[in-house]
Structure 1
């Protein structure tokens, strides 16, 4: 029989099981079997094994090899693994290498001592760590050092003597040092790792998985598949929060079933997460579009418990990006993130500012101090902002309808930066930029002419139908700004949609019912769902005479309609009333302020001759019946007419 120390792992396991069964069989029936054999062979000469020994043959067999008794015990396999897989003792060379200050010193220490394969592997790992920490640009010369080549040859030829943790660390170290994927040493290490894949601890499997991701070579792909299989089979061994976070941060090659179990484990271990672990898990969930409400709530609770010293700016930016990506709202977390970011704004880069502003605008959450800091940051460092970053910042401000306190200085630098830059922008970005300036009431005639050019509109017509419709609507808003606010000819713009998209919301439906009751059965007393030439939709329209009574509006001139309406002018003293259903989504998530798009709608309709009556969702929800709703609308109309007459 081959020596146990040279048997491969799988052969050792099979031999162990065979000897265990043999020993149990001899242990229960050994004496009877031996006596039966002696009786059958009584007439034949027996070799030395049949005589002169009082001890049973099965017991003597176990005593022939001391390791065999251990291997055949009840816990033989686990005992063997404990004896062979324990962490090797630290040697003097290990301690000296840790104290070394340069790669050359590590190589010299190794050359002066007769190091075994595991010590050599640790020396290579320390070399890679030094190169990474110091940013040593001479690592290519280091690979040519004959001592390092000798070290790699040693670990390649004696790879079976390298401990599991050193083997995984060595693979990562060689990649950091720039060793080519097809070299013999890497092939040897990967083959050995593939043979040992069942013997690695779960944390070592995770490190090996991180290394194997993205290698691309066939041998690395085979190793990656084996590691993923072990990770899935042994997922119950997960007991470390950092390992869970590290595994979730690279979900590309993990099966969905394992990802679900990782979420459960993360929820179980979330109280042990560091702030960095929370960031990794949140970003991993966001990158996969997994909106795990329970886990995000737990992460939100624990991130609020962390001290501010742990919450660096980069971590906070990643967190708010993750929340925006999955559209998960948590006001306390947003308040904490914004509060911790305010003093750090001067140290942020323009990319950090625009990224954070875009995330908060997507969440519809406005923190005035933070956005004032963003505006001040641009005012002081506007030369460092690219045109793309400026466009992104303006779009964020427009979506939240935020005006800086020092807007003259801010917008002065914005216009200076945009001068001459519009012609270099692609049509979709140009449309977003000019639309944002229209919302912020900063659009100039040259901006409007640039985007309303027929050549630009022709290029906007290509793409997905939903995108074409969205940008066509923005062109309508820009043309309305040109006509109503800047007072310049809008040029040729696409026709507005003739019908509404989608079904009316509950607020719109109940508003239409209340308007029907308010008109009192008068034919043509109101309009519902009015699509205007300005690109805006009016939820309800009434015309009140001088006595504040609804009148038939079907025969009246209506410049806001695509067809122009009837031929009769509006009676003297009459008022056009536009009812605007102000839904929850039309307001910022922090307060009740209108977002930029809907503030511009109200402004445009007022300039078009309407008295606007916003029907706020939180006020409408408190009204119990039709009588209260009619009284609410009459009160709103009365106030609008009184304010108009006061002007």
Structure 2
């Protein structure tokens, strides 16, 4: 800091040097060694005094934007034109008047007003060569006001108030400086103490484990440990539904957990309705896992017989999961294909999705249940099952190998000899489809229609991508929907050529990929080009 003019030998004292506090009943004046005495001896103007305090002169906040924008520092609201509390503080003629304006307007006082008051106090004391003494009560009341409100100050306001208080001669061990210093340290260094961890019981522990941030890295260990520690009465339907949803969502084919869900479903059969059962059964179909629990299928058949007419959508959802497991019960099929059930769902909000599911169930009956003799879905009610690529594939298209495989086929076969994303009856979207003659020659695909007729007029080869997300996590088991699609396409007469993601990822560049595709197609006996016709 620069030395004040007028006293060549003077120096700026340290903030904690020479501060004296008046005792009870005594008047207060700056201590001989305080910074304020040095400043007063310089006969500085108000602007000069503010400059020596390392702070800009007090200006109305309404006179233009500042680095705090339209709001004054300290978190206070905009005061408005000069006719506000700030003007009253700036024009106060005594320390007592400063205190009066602050005390009479508690709802209008904001953090920055205390900065204005402290600066004005310095100006009042610096306006006369021999400043009048300040009453101890006035000083204490001003200190108490700042102490009481400093927890609401921001860190900038706390720093400035602390600096001003020390420069004005407030003692370093006094209540004001101690309170401001404590707030400063709390803002800068202290961390909130860790909240005590509640004691969790079995069911609560399982719910906490399902929400654990490390779930994706070590999910099975968390869940198995929590499930093992839970008592049977703590495993409520809500907890088991949460567990089933986690397994399905994250593709976790964990036999111990799936068997626990199956056992819970059998034990709690009487207390469960079909809307809960559809959520408990979901992971079995999605993860392509048929539990070892002997009563699993008989239990579901009884629930379907009891609840089929109550919750139609839940009933069809349960049958969809069982369709992926190739365990469709004839009695439930007769019910959902009955004219009464079909007429009942026609006017519901879920009519379209249920017609798609019933169309898939009808296809499964035709392809996989030759012994079924009950009603079927009428032709006029049938709709394409999946008229476009699945949502998962569309969401992860930027990670898929489909584009580079398409380019490899284009350069290898030509654009006319394959089709991408064609939908074949009953509504399965194929990745790539080739038409092949009886001699193995790859033929041009003449149709531009995204839907092909059924049955196919010529032999067809379907190249199906097996991406990483088409499998259960950390395993080689296809998800139920992918396995069902490939199974039905094979039963309909299409020749499948799987392209696993491991093999696709090992290809380095388009030339190597073309060589890989050539070997795959030739292994099926396919020919193309001039020699292939």
Asked if Structure 1 and Structure 2 have the same fold, meaning a TM-score greater than 0.5 normalized by the shorter chain, the answer is yes
Aligned partners of 2:387 and 2:429 also within 8 Å: no
Equivalent-residue separation in structure 2 for 1:430 and 1:366 (angstroms): 24
Partner of 2:223: 338
In structure 2, distance between residues paired with 1:320 and 1:528: 40
Structure 2 residue 402 is matched with structure 1 residue 508? yes
Q: Which residue of 1 aligns with 2:517?
A: 629
Contact 1:71 1:80 (8 Å CA) reproduced: no
**Alpha-carbon spacing, 1:404–1:627, altered in 2? closer, same or farther (3 Å):** same
Residue of 595, 611, 618 corresponding to 2:502:
618
CA distance in 2, matches of 1:498, 1:474: 10
Helix, strand or coil for the counterpart of 1:364?
coil
- TM-score, normalising length from structure 1? 0.48
1:490 aligns with 2:376: yes
Following TM superposition, by how much is the alpha carbon of 1:596 offset from its aligned partner in structure 2, in angstroms?
A: 0.9
Q: Which has the higher contact order (CA 8 A, sep 6+)?
A: 2
TM-score by length of 2: 0.57
Structure 1 position 483, deviation (Å): 1.0
Residue 320 in structure 1 maps to residue 207 in structure 2: no
- Aligned residue for 1:477? 360
Contact 1:582 1:614 in 2 (8 A): yes
Superposition pairs for residues 218-257 of structure 1, below 5 Å? none
Greater fraction of residues in helix: 1
Q: Deviations over 1:264-317 (max 9, x none)?
A: xxxxxxxx57666xxxxxxxxxxxxxxxxxxxxxxxxxxxxxxxx868542542
| Structure 1 residues 160-239: aligned runs within 5 Å | none
Match of 2:125 among 27, 32, 48: 27
Q: Which of 593, 597, 600 is the equivalent residue of 2:484?
A: 600
Which of 489, 493, 507 in structure 2 is aligned with 1:609? Answer: 493
Name the CA shift for 1:69/1:374 in 2 (closer, same or farther; >3 Å).
same
Shift of 1:332: 1.6
Deviation at 1:595, TM superposition (A): 0.9
The answer to whether the 8 Å contact 1:434/1:451 transfers is no
Deviation digits for residues 143-177 of structure 1 (CA, Å, limit 9, x no counterpart): xxxxxxxxxxxxxxxxxxxxxxxxxxxxxxxxxxx
Alpha-carbon separation, structure 1, partners of 2:227 and 2:432: 43
Paired with 2:315 and 2:431, the residues of 1 have a C-alpha distance of 30
Mapping of residues 112-511 of structure 1, within 5 Å: 272=194, 313-317=203-207, 320=210, 331-344=216-229, 346=232, 347-406=234-293, 408-425=294-311, 427-453=312-338, 456-457=341-342, 470-487=353-370, 488=372, 490-492=376-378, 493-496=381-384, 500=388, 507-511=401-405
* Structure 1 residue runs without a partner (length 5+): 33-55, 86-197, 200-234, 243-271, 277-308, 324-328, 639-647
Pick closer, same or farther for the CA change 1:385–1:525 going to 2, 3 Å: same
Partners of 1:529 and 1:537 within 8 A in 2: yes
CA contact (8 A) 2:408 2:517 kept: yes
Quote how far apart the aligned CAs of 1:479 are.
1.2
Q: C-alpha separation between the residues in 2 aligned to 1:472 and 1:620?
A: 37
Displacement after TM superposition at 1:531 (Å): 1.9
Q: CA deviation at 1:589?
A: 3.0
8 Å contact from structure 1 (residues 20, 71) kept in 2: no
3-state SS, counterpart of residue 419 of structure 1: helix
TM superposition shift of 1:440: 1.9
Asked if the contact 1:341/1:370 (under 8 Å) is kept, the reply is no
Question: CA-to-partner distance for each residue in 1:73-119, whole Å, 9 max, x for gaps?
Answer: xx66444558xx9xxxxxxxxxxxxxxxxxxxxxxxxxxxxxxxxxx
Deviations 1:410-456 (A, max 9, x none): 2122212322320111x332321221121122212332233334565
CA–CA distance in structure 2, aligned partners of residues 619 and 352 of structure 1? 40
Check if 1:562 corresponds to 2:453: yes
Where does residue 176 of structure 2 map in the other structure? Answer: none
Structure 2 unmatched runs, 5+: 1-95, 154-185, 526-533
Judged with a 3 Å threshold, the aligned counterparts in structure 2 of structure 1 residues 601 and 70 are, in CA distance, closer, same or farther, namely: same
In 1, the alpha carbon distance for the partners of 2:485 and 2:277 equals: 24
Q: Which residue of 2 aligns with 1:533?
A: 425
**Contact 2:287–2:479 (CA<8 Å) still a contact in 1?**
yes
Q: Is the 8 A contact 2:324 2:480 kept in 1?
A: yes
Partner residue, 1:103: none
In structure 2, the residue matched to 1:280 is none
Distance 1:29 1:456 in 2: 95
Partner-residue secondary structure (3-state), 1:441:
coil
> Conserved in 1, the CA contact under 8 Å of 2:244 and 2:282?
no
